[in-house]
Copies of this chain bind each other. A is one copy, B any other.
Amino acid sequence: MAHRTVSADRVLVPTAAGATRRPEPDCPVEVALAAISGRWTTLVLRDLMAGPLAYGELRRGLPELSDKVLVERLTALRDRGLVARHEHAGFPTRVVYELTDAGRALRPLLVELYRTGEELQQAPRT
C-alpha cells in the first residue's frame, strides 16, 4: 500500500473533494442540522415519532412551549417536508400533524444524538 494513505477510520467524508471549506447549505451535514434546527424542534419531532398528534395534544405534551413558537416549529417542519398537516372538517377545528417519510428518516439521527449525549455525560474529566 502507498504510504501517506490516511487510515480509513480517520476519514469523515467520502472523498477529499467532498470536504467543504465553508458551511454550505447543500453540505449533507448542514442539511441534517437544518432539519432539526431551532429550540424545541427535537422535542416536537420526538413526540411525533410516536404517531400523529393533534395540535392540542402537541401543546399539552410541551406545556412550556408557547403557541407562537409551536406554530413556528410546525410550519418550519412542514416547509422542510418533514411534517404533514391534516385539517379535519367540523367545529371546533381539529388539526392533526404527522411525520412524512422524510421526517421519519430523522429517527436514527435522534437516537444517535441521545446516545452520544449519554456518552459525553459519562466521559471522565480528563
Q: How far is the CB of A64 from chain B (nearest CB, A)?
A: 5
**Assembly CA distance A61 to B121 (angstroms):** 30
Min Cβ gap A126→B in Å is 6
Q: With A28-B121, A31-B121, A113-B28 in contact, is A46–B19 under 8 Å at CB? A: yes
Q: How large is the interface on A (under 10, 10 to 19, 20 to 34, 35 or more residues)?
A: 35 or more
Q: How far is A46 from B42 in the complex, measured between Cα atoms in Å?
A: 23
CB distance from A73 to the nearest CB of B (A): 12
- If A40-B23, A112-B108 touch, whether A35 touches B102 (CB-CB below 8 Å) is no
Residues of A within 8 A of B (CB): 6, 10-13, 19-23, 26-33, 35, 39-40, 42-43, 46, 49-51, 61-65, 81, 84, 100-102, 105-121, 123, 125-126
